């Protein structure tokens, strides 16, 4: 069974940085694509970034140039480096390995405040 643990969130001022981690256990990590999503209060969950098993990457337009997704297959972990954070980045961030039937993890809260 695939299990997900997100971490690395916190409080940061606009312009600051955070690095989120997504650790996946169970399954063959190197075969997964990993997606990051976020959900702000009162809003639907939205796609943020994706990295394929082969390393192809894409981002939602609102974070391109500020966020960087990467993976370390030896550590079964995907990272989301977030720079130049804005208040509108405030959300709970979740990751999702695909293909899998993994349930959503607890997420990690990112709060950007001025």
Q: What is the pLDDT of residue 60?
A: 98
Residue 30: phi and psi, rounded to 5, are -65, -15
Q: Which segments of the chain have a pLDDT < 50?
A: none
pLDDT of residue 101: 86
Q: Cα–Cα distance between 77 and 85 in angstroms, integer? A: 22
Confidence (pLDDT) at 19: 98
- Quick one: pLDDT at residue 93? 98
What pLDDT shows up at residue 13? 98
What distance in Å separates the CA atoms of residue 59 and residue 34, rounded to the nearest whole number?
A: 12
- Give yes or no for a contact between 87 and 40, defined as CB atoms under 8 angstroms apart: no
Query: pLDDT tens for residues 33-42?
Result: 999 999 999 9
Taking phi first (over 0 means left), then psi (-120 to 50 degrees means alpha), and beta for anything else, what does residue 103 get?
beta
Q: Cα 94 to chain center, whole Å?
A: 6
The chain-wide mean pLDDT, for the chain, equals: 96
Q: What is the pLDDT of residue 80?
A: 98
The residues near 97 (Cβ < 8 Å, ≥ 6 apart) are 2, 4, 24, 27, 29, 32, 33, 34, 35
Q: What share of the chain is helix, strand, coil (3-state, %, to 5)?
A: 10, 50, 40
């Amino acid at each position: 069974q695939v299990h997900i643990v997100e971490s690395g969130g916190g409080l940061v001022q606009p312009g600051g940085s955070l690095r989120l981690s997504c650790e996946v256990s169970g399954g063959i990590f190197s075969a997964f694509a990993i997606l990051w999503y976020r959900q702000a209060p009162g809003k639907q969950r939205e796609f943020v970034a994706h990295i394929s098993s082969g390393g192809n990457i894409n981002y939602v337009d609102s974070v391109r140039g500020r966020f960087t997704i990467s993976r370390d297959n030896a550590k079964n972990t995907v990272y989301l480096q977030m720079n130049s954070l804005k208040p509108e980045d405030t959300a709970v961030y979740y990751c999702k390995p695909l293909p899998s039937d993994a349930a959503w993890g607890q997420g990690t809260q990112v709060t950007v405040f001025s």
